[in-house]
Amino acid sequence: MKKILALVLAAMMLLGMCSAMAEAPEGYPEVIEGLDFGGRTVYIYDWWGNDDAEHSTRQAEPDAETQALYDYRDWLEATYNVKIVETALSDWSGNPAELTNINMNGGLNGKGDEGDWCIIAIAADFAPATLKNDLYMPWTIDLSAEKWNPVTTNFMTKDGKVLGVHVGKTEPRSCLFFNKRVLEEAGIDWNTIYDMQADGTWTWEAWENIMDQVQRDTDNDGITDIYGLTGSGDDMAVALVFANGASFFDKDENGKITLAVDSQAALDALDERVKVWDKYACPTPEGANWDWFKTYWEEGTSAFYAGQTWQGFNDGAEMDDMQDEWGAVMVPKGPNAETYKAMACDNIYGIPNVYSPEVSEKIQMIYDLYTDDVPGTDSEDNWIGNKYNKTDERAVDETYAMMREPEHTAPNYTFNLGSTNDVLGSALLWGPINSKGPAQAVEESKGFWQDLMDVFNGVKTQEEVDAENAAEEAAAAAAAEAAEEAPAAE
C-alpha cells in the first residue's frame, strides 16, 4: 500500500512539474506539448562558432540583452529536455565533406535517431552536390514567417521540397569599396557617391565619369600611377550582370533551371565588364599571384575595389590593412535595371538525410524556437555587429542596410549548378569574354551549361551526360584522324 501511495505521489509531483513547465514566461513562445528530446544534444554546426557545451564562453557580467539571450536558451533546454550546442564542425570547405560523411555513416557516430542530432550549415557554393545527392531532408514545418529568408527557400527548393533554410535577411555581398583619399586628391567629394546612391543616380555612366577623373599619371612619366579600379574581375562580372537586372540562370515555376546569360541585359553587363576592366583596371603584374590586387589596393593606388562586403567587416580581410579611410556602395545600376541589385549568397542550414521524418520535424521545431527573436529584446540592429568600427556610418546605414532588403536582392541560381569557378570560370570569365567577346563566349558554352541544367532538372543523369560527351569526343577524334589520313590515301 505504501509503495502504491509513493508511486501515486511521484506521479502527482511529475504532473505538477509538467504543468509548471507548460506555463511559459510572459512573451515567450507557447510550449509545444509532447516535444521532448530525452536529454540528447542537438548540434547546430557552422564553420565559425565556438563550442558552448558547458556555457564556458558566456560573459561573466553580461548586459541586459545578453542575459535575456542566456535566459531564453536556458528555458528552451529545460523545457524541452535538450542541450543545444552551436559550434564549428569544420571549416568553410570542410563542412560539405562532413555532411557527406554523416550521411554515409548514418548519423552522428552512426546512431541515426538513437544518437545525438544535428543541423549542418554549408555555403551556397556547395548547394549543388547537396541537392544532387539528397544530403538534406525536406523541411516540413511552416516556413511562411518573415524570419525565413524567401530567397534561400526558393534557391533550395527542388521537386517542390524545401531542402535548406536561412534565417534573417540576406547578407550583403557584391559591392564597390572606394578610397576616400584617392577621390579627394582627384577633387571628388566621396559623399557625392553616397548621395547618388540615395537619389537613384548612381549609374554605370556616373561611375565611369568618376574613374575618368581619378585615373591619371601623377608624375608625368607616361605611366599611369592611379587607376580607377582594381579587385576581382570575376566578382565584377557577376555583380554587373545582377546590377543590370539580369542573371546567369533563372528558375521557372516548376523549379527547373533555365539559361538567362544569353539575354541582351546580361550580355550588355558582360560588355561593360570588359570595357571598364580594359580602360580603368590596373593590369596584372607579370608572374603575380591571382590575388595580387589585394596588396595593390591596400597601397592606395586605385579609387574603387570590386569585391564583397565581408572583405570590409571580417577581421583580417583586405580593408583591415588599409591605411586610408574607405567607404562602400552598391554596384551602380545598369540601363536595364529599375533599382540596385546584388546577388544573394547566404549560408544554408539543413538536416542530414539520416533521420526519420518524426525526428527531422523535432529538429526543425527546436531550430525554429532557437532562432526566434529573444523575447523582450530588440534584435533589429544585431546584424551591424562591429561594422561601425570598420568604416563610416553611411556605408553601414545606407549601403549595407539597403543590400539586406529583398527588393535589392537577387537569387544566384548559378550555385544550383556548381561554384562560380566550375560553372562560369573556364566557360566565360577566365579569358573567353575578353578573347572572344561575351556573345561568342556565351554561345560556345551553351552546350556545357545545358548538360549541367539537364542533370539538375532530372532530364538526364550525370552518367548519361558523361557517356554522351565521351561519344562525341570519340567521334570528333575519329573524324580528325580520318581527315589526316585522307591526303595520304590520295
Confidence of residue 344 (pLDDT cuts 50, 70, 90): confident
Confidence of residue 372 (pLDDT cuts 50, 70, 90): very high
- Give CA–CA dist 395/388, Å, rounded: 9
- Give CA–CA dist 131/126, Å, rounded: 9
Residue 238: inside a domain: yes
User: 98 in helix, strand or coil?
Assistant: helix
Residue 378: inside a domain: no
Residue 276 has pLDDT above 50, yes or no: yes
Question: What mean pLDDT do residues 58-62 have?
Answer: 88
Per-residue model confidence (pLDDT) at position 204: 98
Q: 259 with 359, same domain?
A: no
Residue 69: inside a domain: yes
Residue 12: inside a domain: no
Centre a 10 Å sphere on the Cβ of residue 144 and count the other Cβ atoms it contains: 8
- Give CA–CA dist 23/4, Å, rounded: 29
Nearest to 449 by CA among 469, 471, 473, 424: 424
Residues facing 178 on adjacent strands: 304, 327
Please give the residue range of the domain that contains residue 472.
460-490
Nearest to 33 by CA among 388, 362, 444: 362
- Give CA–CA dist 287/298, Å, rounded: 19
Residue 13 has pLDDT above 80, yes or no: no
- What DSSP state is assigned to residue 279? H
Residue 382: inside a domain: no
Q: 294-323: per-residue pLDDT in tens? A: 999 999 999 999 999 889 888 888 888 888
Residues contacting 257, CB < 8 A, separation 6+: 249, 250, 251, 413, 416, 417, 453, 456, 457
Residue 64 has pLDDT above 70, yes or no: yes
Per-residue model confidence (pLDDT) at position 145: 95
Query: Phi and psi (nearest 5°) for 148?
Result: -80, 115
Q: 75 with 183, same domain?
A: no
Q: 64 with 154, same domain?
A: yes
Q: 297 with 250, same domain?
A: yes
Grid cell for residue 389? 568600427
Contact 400, 332 (CB under 8 A): no
Contact 224, 215 (CB under 8 A): yes
Per-residue model confidence (pLDDT) at position 489: 56
Q: 360 with 421, same domain?
A: no
129 to each of 90, 339, 348, how far by Cα in Å?
17, 33, 13
- Number of folded domains that form the chain: 3
Question: What mean pLDDT do residues 457-470 have?
Answer: 93
User: 44 in helix, strand or coil?
Assistant: strand
Per-residue model confidence (pLDDT) at position 267: 98
Residue with grid cell 570542410, as numbered in its chain: 94
Q: Where are the alpha helices (DSSP H) in 115-218?
A: 127-132, 150-155, 180-185, 191-199, 204-214
Q: 98 with 125, same domain?
A: yes
Q: 393-412: per-residue pLDDT in tens? A: 999 999 999 999 989 999 89
Burial of 475 (0-12, 13-18, 19+ CB in 10 A): exposed
DSSP assignment of 280-306 equals: HBPPPPTT--TTHHHHHHHTT-EEEEE
The domain spanning residue 107 has which CATH number?
3.40.190.10
Grid cell for residue 257? 533551371
pTM, two decimal places: 0.83
Nearest to 402 by CA among 342, 338, 335: 342
User: 370 in helix, strand or coil?
Assistant: helix
Q: 355 with 337, same domain?
A: no
Per-residue model confidence (pLDDT) at position 56: 56
Q: 179 with 132, same domain?
A: no
Confidence of residue 214 (pLDDT cuts 50, 70, 90): very high
Per-residue model confidence (pLDDT) at position 63: 87
Question: What mean pLDDT do residues 63-72 have?
Answer: 91
